[in-house]
Amino acid sequence: MTASDRNHSRPPEAAEGAVMAALRRGPSAGDVADAVRRATDRAHAEGLVDVTYSSLDSPLGRLVAAATPRGLVRLAYEDFNGGVDVVLDHLATRLSPRIVERPTGFDPLRRELDEYFEGRRRGFDISIDWALTTGFTRKVLQATAAIPFGEVSTYRGVAAAAGSERATRAAGNALGSNPLPIVVPCHRVLRTGGGLGGYTGGIEKKQRLLAIEGVLSEPLT
Amino acid sequence: MPPPFQRLLDDHSPTVLRFLVASVGPVDADDCFQETVISALRAYPKLRHSDNLRGWLLTIAHRKALDVHRSRARRAVPVEDPDPGHTVPDAPRDDALWTAVHDLPPKQRGAVLLRFVGDLSHREIAAALGSSEEAARRALADGLANLRKEWTPA
């Protein structure tokens, strides 16, 4: 059937269909992505975005990083924290639903993590927002952040540094809820007897991190 | 608590941008889309319900499109925009259809595009237009009839 045939004997429903089909021909996925990026860049510049996030690659698997204007607020192992959606839902509830993806904002963190994993960096310079932590947990994690590269402490040690030497179990819970693994080095906290203890991302990640820092010999793979 | 805003962008941006391209054309659609996102983010923390976020976004987009049409009407003689900024290049290029859509009265244009581009129900269209469901149905029927008169598919 040619176009002119169609035009001559067109029932109203067909006309409706033609209007619909013509109007629905829309911009390509690439154009949509560009428009979204320009809109979110502008919203960010106008201070309307409370949390930005991005996925990152690392030798320990994919990470999702989130930041507020004050600094890095969350770093999560995608395979251990329920994936990006679960992490973002939690941030929306705890902080704000004004969450937008913005990969370029995480270039400094990406660079520092690359250097760390290549053994060329001993500490992180990016600023941290402790907003997801409170009370004793925050004290324990801040004490943990002070443990230097290549050294280790114990649950009892960080509990003491946080002001309550006997709260070893609470310190363990605080480390287990660390919203900023790697950057806040909870992998440097071991059991008092010398056992590795647990790790939020799985014990093999803790072994890898301690191997990078020269505390453990590189595990056989 | 509404979901992370990025999820709205992922789910509804193609529809909202297509709606804006159809309503204001590819040159103004990009800026209109930015205005829509900015307004949505401003209102988002105070949003009480998170059902029908697509309808909510399209309602904002519809209002932004109305602003563009109003300011065009004020500039009675269309002038060449010296700096069109970004355009949405891959937009549909049926100029006759655009002209026909552009020339519809605002309510009819809104009703037709919210229905056929936005896939909204009559009730949702009525809410977006701020009119009764009956008036929305009538605007949609009249808009379609006018389009049929002014435009035939190529």
Closest to A182 in 3D by CA, of A103, A102, A123, A94: A123
DSSP letter at A56 equals E
Please report where in the chains the tokens 């109203």 appear, as a residue: A12
Q: Per-residue confidence at A6, pLDDT binned at 50, 70, 90?
A: very low
Per the prediction, chain A carries an average pLDDT of: 90
List the single best residue of A7, A32, A95 to mutate versus B (max B Cβ within 10 A). Answer: A32
- Report CB contact under 8 Å: B4, A97: yes
Q: Cα-flanking dihedrals φ and ψ of residue B30, to 5°?
A: -65, -50
Cβ neighbours, 10 Å, residue B87: 16
- Report CB contact under 8 Å: B9, A91: no
Give the pLDDT score at B6. 98
Cβ neighbours, 10 Å, residue A67: 22
- Report CB contact under 8 Å: B92, A26: yes
Distance of residue B135 Cα from the nearest chain A Cα, in angstroms = 19
Specify whether the CB–CB gap between A170 and A134 falls below 8 A.
Answer: no
Specify whether the CB–CB gap between B126 and B66 falls below 8 A.
Answer: no
B48: contact with A, CB 8 A cutoff: no
Is the complex ipTM higher than 0.95?
no
Q: Is the pLDDT at B94 greater than 90, yes or no?
A: no
Q: Mark A82-106 as b/e (b = at least 16 C-beta within 10 Å).
A: eebeebbbbbbeebbbbbbbbeebb
**Which one-letter amino acid corresponds to residue A57?**
D
Which residues in chain A have Cβ-Cβ distances shorter than 8 Å to B18? 23-24, 26-27
Which residues in chain A have Cβ-Cβ distances shorter than 8 Å to B9? 36, 40, 100
For residue B95, CA distances in Å to A6, A17, B71, B102, B103 come to 20, 18, 21, 10, 12
Give the pLDDT score at A5. 43
What are the tokens at A116? 């760390």
Q: What are all long-range contacts of A11-18, with beta carbons under 8 Å and residues at least 24 apart?
A: A12/B148, A15/B144, A15/B148, A16/B144, A18/B153
The pLDDT > 70 percentage for chain A reads: 90
Q: What is the mean pLDDT of residues A190-200?
A: 84
Helix (H, G, I), strand (E, B) or coil at A67: strand
Among A67, A87, A113, A186, the one annotated catalytic: A186
Distance of residue A81 Cα from the nearest chain B Cα, in angstroms = 17
- Sheet of A51-56, strands arranged across: A71-77, A63-68, A51-56, A99-101
Residue with the larger pLDDT of the pair A1 and A173: A173
Q: Per-residue confidence at A10, pLDDT binned at 50, 70, 90?
A: very low
Please report where in the chains the tokens 């979204």 appear, as a residue: A36
Specify whether the CB–CB gap between B14 and A19 falls below 8 A.
Answer: no
Q: Please tell me which residue of chain A has the smallest CA distance to B154.
A: A3
| Residues whose CB falls within 8 Å of the CB of residue B66, separated by 6 or more in sequence, listed in order | B106, B110
Q: Per-residue confidence at A34, pLDDT binned at 50, 70, 90?
A: very high
Q: Per-residue confidence at B149, pLDDT binned at 50, 70, 90?
A: confident
- How far the first Cα of chain B sits from its last, in Å, is 47
- Report CB contact under 8 Å: B116, A42: no
Exposure on the CB side of residue B49, measured as CA atoms within 13 A = 6
Task: Identify which of B4, B29, B97 has the shortest CB distance to residue A88.
Answer: B4
Give the pLDDT score at A20. 72
Please report where in the chains the tokens 């004020």 appear, as a residue: B74
Per the prediction, chain B carries an average pLDDT of: 87
B47-75: per-residue pLDDT in tens? 988 888 999 999 999 999 999 998 887 87
How many helical (H) and strand (E) elements, i.e. helices and strands, does chain A have?
Answer: 9, 6
- Dihedral sign, CA of A128, A133, A139, A141? negative
Report pTM.
Answer: 0.87
Q: Mark A168-187 as b/e (b = at least 16 C-beta within 10 Å).
A: bebbbebbeebbbbbbbbbb
B60: contact with A, CB 8 A cutoff: no
Distance of residue A202 Cα from the nearest chain B Cα, in angstroms = 27
Distance of residue A171 Cα from the nearest chain B Cα, in angstroms = 31
- Report CB contact under 8 Å: B117, A23: yes
To the query of whether residue A186 is one of the catalytic residues in this protein, the response is yes
